[in-house]
């Protein structure tokens, strides 16, 4: 369970909360939950989150999140990520499979493959790998392009519309 300051204050005000209130708090925490891996943390193995996940430290292994995954600028991650959306601001090595949007921020670096509906690469982001743009489920590949330089520009043979890749 995740402890919040409000929970500690409520617990000190009353000796015991009614059982129905605890269940309601847990349901709210599940919907709004963001798990944070702090800047000094180093994790190795499988990381699973029922909500969203923000990584400020180092992770090596696999990451599965029902919500969004955000890698902050100081993060260093070597993993395969499966999530709703991913935003990379730090150093990432591995494969990303998202249901909706992958975002590479200025100063971020991705060395690996991305499967998503939408890919956004900001100026100053470095992407080295293959992008599979898929309007359906992330398991299939409808069209692909490869880039190994700063930013991403579709080649003449790619079938990506300008609304799918932003540079």
**114, pLDDT greater than 60:** yes
SS3 30: helix
Residue recorded with tokens 């971020």: 108
Mean per-residue pLDDT for 18-33?
45
pLDDT band at 134 (very low <50, low <70, confident <90, very high): confident
Domain extents in the chain = 30-141
Q: Model confidence over 46-69: pLDDT tens digits?
A: 999 999 999 999 999 999 999 999
Q: Model confidence over 135-150: pLDDT tens digits?
A: 664 444 333 444 433 4
What does the block give as tokens for 9? 């204050």
Can you give the length of the chain in residues? 167
Average pLDDT over all residues of the chain: 76
Share of the chain above pLDDT 90, in %: 59
In 109-157, DSSP assigns E strands to 109-111, 114-116, 118-121, 126-133, 143-147
Mean per-residue pLDDT for 89-118?
97
| DSSP string computed for 35-72 | EEE-TT-EEEEEEEESSEEEESSEEEEEEEESSEEEE-
pLDDT band at 33 (very low <50, low <70, confident <90, very high): confident
**1, pLDDT greater than 50:** no
- State the Cα–Cα distance between residues 94 and 58, nearest whole angstrom: 13
Mean per-residue pLDDT for 86-114?
98
**106, pLDDT greater than 50:** yes
For residue 43, the model assigns a pLDDT of: 94
């Amino acid at each position: 369970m995740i402890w919040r300051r409000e929970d500690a204050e409520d617990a000190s005000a009353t000796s015991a909360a009614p059982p129905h209130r605890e269940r309601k708090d847990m349901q709210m925490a599940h919907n709004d939950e963001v798990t944070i891996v702090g800047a000094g943390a180093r994790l190795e193995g499988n990381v699973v989150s029922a909500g969203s996940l923000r990584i400020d430290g180092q992770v090596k292994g696999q990451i599965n999140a029902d919500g969004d995954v955000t890698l902050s600028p100081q993060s260093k991650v070597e993993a395969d990520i499966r999530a709703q959306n991913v935003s990379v601001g730090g150093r990432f090595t591995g494969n990303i499979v998202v249901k909706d949007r992958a975002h590479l921020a200025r100063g971020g670096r991705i060395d690996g493959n991305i499967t998503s509906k939408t890919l956004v690469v900001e100026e100053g982001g470095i992407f080295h790998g293959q992008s599979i743009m898929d309007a359906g489920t992330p398991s299939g590949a409808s069209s692909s392009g490869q880039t190994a330089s700063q930013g991403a520009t579709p080649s003449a043979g790619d079938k990506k519309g300008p609304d799918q890749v932003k540079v």
